[in-house]
Each structure stands twice: as C-alpha cells, then as structure tokens.
Amino acid sequence: MDLKINGQLFIVTGASSGLGNAVARALLSNGARVLAVARREDMLNALSHDHPGMVEILAGDLQQEETLQALMLRLNERLPDGIFVNAGGPPAVSFADAEIGQWDEAYRLLVRWKVMLVKRLLPLFLQQKYGRILFSESVSIKQPVENLVLSNSLRMAVAGMAKTLALEVAAKGITVNVIGPGFHDTSAVDRIFARKSELEGISPEEARKAVVEQIPAGMMGKPEDFASLAAWLLSPLAGFVTGQVITPDGGANRYSLG
C-alpha cells in the first residue's frame, strides 16, 4: 500500500530503539524523511547509517528545555507533516509501594514534556492546515496492567489531553490519536517481567511465559507490525481517524468496545 508519505517530514521521539525505532524505519521505508530524537546518539547514528540522507538526528532528553529548543532550531522554519510522540515508561510498582517522588517523576516522564512539545509544534501544523499527532502510550489506558500504577494513571491523562486537542483541531486538517500497545517483544517490557518475577518468586522467563499465555494471539506483538499501524495513522490515508485510542494487543483487552 502506498501511504502517500514520500518526501514528508516526521519527528519521531524515542527513535533509538524499541517501538520508536521500528516506527522510524517504517516511515523511512515508505520514502519519508525522519528527524529522530533520543538520548542514545550511537543508536541514532546507526539509524542514520542505514538510511543515508533521509535521517536527521538530535541526541537529547526532551524533558529538558534545551532539547526542546534544539528541536525547534533544527526544524529551522520547516513544517513537519507529523510527529510520533514516544518514550519509555516509569518503574513497575504497586500503589502501596509507589513513593510520592515517583509520582512526580512519572508526571514529568509521561505527561509534561509531551504537552510542552505539542504546544511548540501545533502552530506549525495550524500554519499549513495539516498535521498528524500520534501518541504512543499503553493498553493500560483501557485496562490496568498489574504493578503499573504510575503508567495506569498518568497515561490516561495523555489520552484525555489528546481527545480534547483532537476535538479542537479536527476541522483544521490535524488528527490526534493515541496508540496503546499491549505486550510487544521489546526490552521495554522487561521491567514488568522482572517485577512479576520478584513478587511471585519465579524466574523472569517464567514470568514472561505466564504473561504470553494470557494473550489470545498466543504471542507478543512484533515491533514491525506495530510500526505499520503507526505509519498508517501518521499518513494522509488516516485523515478521518482522530480522537481515537487504538490498542494493538493480540486480543488481551477483553472489553467489547476496547
């Protein structure tokens, strides 16, 4: 399928590994250009090496104001066509064990920088009367995941923000969606298996197996499959899809309207 993104410019955050890296590669394979942002410069360089002339890299932490400023300077008045807003998650912890400092840090990690980033970019999308904003969050927006109280709580704040923004800009050529993945085969889920292993006195491998057994599809998701969905949502083909939380999770969410 031609996604009609050849030559378009996308910002991908958390692009050095995992789902962010997979999305960047999916966009690039469809002829798009990518401004890849992450803290690991060596891994960003590897992405750039694989797609010469198509990738710009920015190494930094978008929780920091200087990185946000550097991103806007790097755009240099260019108008991006879309952004994939993505980062790692907070520690796996229960409500009883979560310290108030962890709540504060989770807000900074999961909410604050995303608000600041989108506020900087929104005028550019409004200027060209076109844009795709896609937040990568978690299936926990629809169904809590055990021992993830910080993610379960604060990712819902992002969903509320995204829905509100989607309604505000829907008539202006801009879509805003959330993709909430279930368990995918990346290193990001290791913290969940480690926590389950610790609490239940089993090995991380046994914890992983127990989780997979609860997924109707019988396996964890592949980053490449996730990326194909994300790339479509970022494309002109998805212009009538906005204000949605879409959860690729192998059927693990049991709600009829999930």
Place of tokens 């991103």: 71
Taking the CA atoms of the chain, what radius of gyration do you get in angstroms? 18
Integer Cα distance of 159 and 136 in angstroms: 10
Integer Cα distance of 229 and 251 in angstroms: 16
Q: Are the C-beta atoms of residues 27 and 12 closer than 8 Å to each other?
A: yes
Distance (Å) of CA 70 to CA 52, 58, 135, 142: 22, 8, 21, 35
What tokens were used for 17? Answer: 């590994």
Integer Cα distance of 257 and 255 in angstroms: 5
Integer Cα distance of 120 and 247 in angstroms: 27
Superfamily for the 9-182+227-245 domain? NAD(P)-binding Rossmann-like Domain (3.40.50.720)
**221 exposure class (CB count in 10 Å sphere: 0-12, 13-18, 19+):** buried
Mean pLDDT (the chain) is 94
Mean pLDDT on 39-51: 95
Phi, psi angle pair for 113, to nearest 5°: -65, -30
Encode pLDDT of 89-118 as tens digits. Answer: 899 999 999 999 999 999 999 999 999 999
User: Is residue 258 over pLDDT 70?
Assistant: no
Q: pLDDT at position 193, please?
A: 86
Encode pLDDT of 185-227 as tens digits. Answer: 888 888 888 888 888 899 988 988 988 998 999 999 999 999 9
Distance (Å) of CA 165 to CA 55, 225, 243, 244, 247: 29, 27, 8, 11, 19
Closest CA to 207 of 222, 223, 191: 191
pTM for this one? 0.94
Mean pLDDT on 122-127: 98
Residues of the chain with CATH 3.40.50.720: 9-182+227-245
Q: pLDDT at position 108, please?
A: 97
What is the four-CA torsion angle of 211, 140, 180, 189, rounded to 10 degrees?
-40
Mean pLDDT on 9-14: 98
